[in-house]
Each structure stands twice: as structure tokens, then as C-alpha cells.
Amino acid sequence: MSEPDKFEDDLLYAITRTGEGFRAEQGGLVAGGYQRGRRRWRRRSTAALVGGAAALALVGTGAVYLVGHPAKDAGTVAASPARTFTAGSGTPVATPTTAQPSAPNVVTGDEVLATLRALLPKGETTQGKGRGTDDEQTKGTFAAADVVFDDGRGKSLIQIGIQKHRPGQGQSNSCPADLKLAQLDSCTGTTLPDGSRLQLLQGYEYPDKRATTKEWHALLTGPDGREISLSEWNAAAEKGAPDSRPEPPLTLDQLKSIVTDKSWDRVVASVGFDGVDVTALDPGLSLEEREATLTRLLPPGVTVTGRSGSPLAATFQLAQGQTTGSVVLRVENRAKSADEQAYKDALTLPDGNKVLTRGGPDGADKMPLTVNALHPNGIAVTAAQGPSGKPLLTEEQLRAIALSPAWKAGK
């Protein structure tokens, strides 16, 4: 997916997720695919734990990384008491007795932490914390652990996070074309025999190098949807902690060995898919069918000149004389969903339709003018002013489009 297409997909998701809040992250969107990609799994964590907000970079995924580094966030995770653990030289060792095996479909934070510790080379680990799939905040869609590791040459924070995405919803892990522009010392991308994609990079805590703290990173994405992200620093904590050693302790080969280890298979199996299940929401309407319906609902003089989008949401280019604009249209089938919470603040009309209007020039949430309608037949329609051109549709016209009885599920 190209960067312009990715931007459109991000925007479509962000402005049409009813009832989930909105945060403008335009800076992260336009800064480039690399900077957005390598931090996406952490930004997801922030968004989900403040209430499921749909930030521009989420693109339908909402899993969380909030284990936090040992020096901070002490109250966010129910961590086991800090203890010292010495691992072998790259080979798995016995799980600590404090991490008892859980039920087959659940992995506890202690188990995730024990797995990470067992895969580290010889050294001392302290201040360990883990988050498992039994965590109520993430609802089984995320697992993570972090430790402070010391191989005798200085302490290092090491963090791992594990998510699972549906097809087409994972992040790209390709390397940037210009390493200097991306402020990286190295980056490699490799396709493994099983079809997994591995990215290994050496960079810095702050891409502008305002501090000398280095961050080395491994990202594994697999055909089964897994995304295993492992980071290490040459400091005992993120963001402002003094450097404790010249470089992070693990080599790139060691990072690769950890993220590709089969020990994570059970964790991956336990993690639920995050994001929106597009298949369940598909109303059975093709882009052509949605365009035909939209065309009939547009006011006189406004025509459709182009379209682009996904199975659920699309941007339609509009024209009125010499003036051009666009409208974002999202049509979902919620007949099989119990998601009424999204419309809890909506106005219920006499015909049973529920309508919710947000955004606009004076909107506090700084989102485009957006009308969401939930029809009694379970079809949810969102009509919003699009990202290109001038606004050609008024609030009343968007409302008429969203509330029209013409929207029905396809075959």
C-alpha cells in the first residue's frame, strides 16, 4: 500500500468510527512511513487505554502496549515483586516458580515475562513486569513484558510486545529508502522461509538525536497475523534516563533469535485479533452499488467524478460546476453486532433511526463534519466531508444521505 493510500485509509478510519473520540496526529501521518510504523504499536496502547480513541494512525487496530518502563508507570500494571533471575547463554531455562502455567487459552503476565527472561543471554534481570491475555484492559488482544537486563557491562531496558492482526491490518515493516533522513544507523528487512517478515534496525531513542541514547529494534510479522516487537536501549529506562553503557547489549542476531523463537507460539495463539473485523461488518455492497446509491442521494448539480476506498469505507470525489470536493462514505452491517454503546448519545428519531452529528469548523474535536446514522435494519451509515477540495455538502445534505432508507444490506 502506497503512502498516499495509507494516509487515506487512516483518515477514513479515524473520521468514521462513531463514539470513539478523535485525536489529530497529522504530524505522525505525514512524517513518513518508517517513523509511523516503528512506533505504531506503542501509540495503539495509549489510544486504547484512554478509552479506545481512534487516532489517525490506528487504522482499525486498537491493541495496547502499556507495560511501561521500570522507572515509570508503576501503577499501571499489576506486577510481581521485583526479583533477580539469571538466564543461560541463549538457551531456554526453567520458568521461575512464581509463573505457574495458566489455562491453555490464557497466558499470564508472569508467563510472558518468564519467556522473555528465558530467551535472554547470560546476565541479571531485575524490575520485570508482564502483561498477559488475562488483562481486562486489553481484553486479550495484547501481551508484553519488560525487564532491566545487565550482562555485567551496564543496565539496559528490554521490552517486548505481541499483537495479532487480521489480514491487511498489520503495519508495514519495510526499511526507509534514506537511512540518513530516517536517522538510522542500519536497517534490514528479510522474508523468512515461513513467509514471516523480519525487520532489524539500529537507531536512537530520539530520531533527532537530541540525546545519545540508542534504541535497537526487531519486528517480526507473520502470516498468522503475529506482530512481535522487541526493543532494547543502552539505558535502564526510556525518555531521559542517562546512558548506562555505550550500546544496547543484544546483537541484531540475538534480537532475531528472540522474536523468531517458537516459545512465543503459545502466546500468539492466546492473543486475540485486534481491530475491526471487516468481514463481520461487510454490508454486501460493492463500491459500484454504493456509488449508485450515493449518486441518487446527492443534491442537484453535484456529481461523482471518482472513487477510492476499502470494502467498508470509501472517498468519493465530487464536482459542482468548476468546484471540486469529496465525501467520505462508510456503510456497515451492524445487524449481528450488539454495539449500541457507540450510539448511546445519539438522537432517536420517530422512525427508529439514530443519528449523531460531530465535527465541523467549530467542532471541539477538530474532525470533519460527520453524520452517523444507525438504521433499524442494522445498517450504519456515516457521511462526512472528505479530505480533498471544498465542502460541497451541508450538514442537512449529509444528514439526508446518512438517514436515507435506500441503504440496505446486499446479498
- How would you write 204-256 as a 3-class SS string? ECCCCCCCCCEEEEEEEECCCCEEEEEEEECECCCCCCCECCCCCCCCHHHHH
Contacts of 325 (CB under 8 A, 6+ apart): 317, 318, 319, 385, 386, 388, 389, 390, 391, 392, 393
67 CB neighbour count, 10 Å cutoff: 27
Q: How many CB atoms neighbour CB 32 within 10 A? A: 15
What pLDDT shows up at residue 402?
94
For the cut 70, the answer to whether the pLDDT of residue 14 exceeds it is no
- Answer whether residue 114 shows pLDDT above 90: yes
Q: Residue 99 has what pLDDT?
A: 41
Helix, strand, coil tally for the chain in percent (to 5) = 20, 25, 50
DSSP-based three-state secondary structure for 293: helix
pLDDT tens for residues 316-362?
999 999 999 999 999 988 765 545 667 778 888 999 899 999 887 65
Mean pLDDT in residue range 18-36? 33
Alpha-carbon span 237 to 77, nearest angstrom: 16
What percentage of the chain carries pLDDT values higher than 90? Answer: 45
Q: How far, in Å, are 41, 76, 217, 273 from residue 339 at the CA level? A: 25, 27, 37, 18
Spell out the residues 6+ positions from residue 42 whose beta carbon is closer than 8 angstroms to its own. Answer: 65, 161
Answer whether residue 250 shows pLDDT above 90.
Answer: yes
Express each pLDDT in 118-169 by its tens digit.
999 999 999 999 999 998 888 889 999 999 999 999 999 999 999 998 877 7
Taking the C-alpha atoms of residue 250 and residue 222, their distance in angstroms, rounded to an integer, is 22
Cut 0.75: pTM above it = no
d(CA 218, CA 248): 13
Residue 190 CB neighbour total at 10 angstroms: 10
Distance CA 399, CA 320 (A): 19
- The confidence score (pLDDT) of residue 311 equals 64
B/e letters for 46-61, b = 16+ CB within 10 Å, e = fewer, are: ebbbeebbbbbbbbbb
Q: Is domain 278-403 in CATH 3.40.50, yes or no?
A: no
Residue entry with cell 442521494 = 297
Q: Quick one: angle between helices 252-259 and 109-119, nearest 10?
A: 140
For the residues 268-290, what does the mean pLDDT come to? Answer: 83
Dihedral angle of Cα 13, 62, 163, 146, to the nearest 10 degrees: 140
CB 108, CB 132: distance < 8 Å = yes
In the predicted model, what is the mean pLDDT of the chain? 75
Whole-angstrom distance, CA of residue 231 vs CA of residue 225: 20
Instruction: Give me the pLDDT at residue 71, please.
Output: 31
Contact between 129 and 67 (Cβ < 8 Å):
yes
Asked whether residue 390 carries a pLDDT value surpassing 50, the answer given is yes
Domain boundaries, the chain: 67-270, 278-403
Neighbour-count burial of 408, counting CB atoms closer than 10 A to its CB (0-12 exposed, 13-18 middle, 19+ buried): middle
Better-predicted residue by pLDDT, 46 or 175: 175
Closest CA to 143 of 74, 227, 84: 227
Contact 248, 234 (CB under 8 A): yes
What are the phi and psi torsion angles at 137 (to 5°)?
A: -70, -40
pLDDT in tens, 185-227: 999 999 999 999 999 999 998 877 888 899 999 999 999 999 9
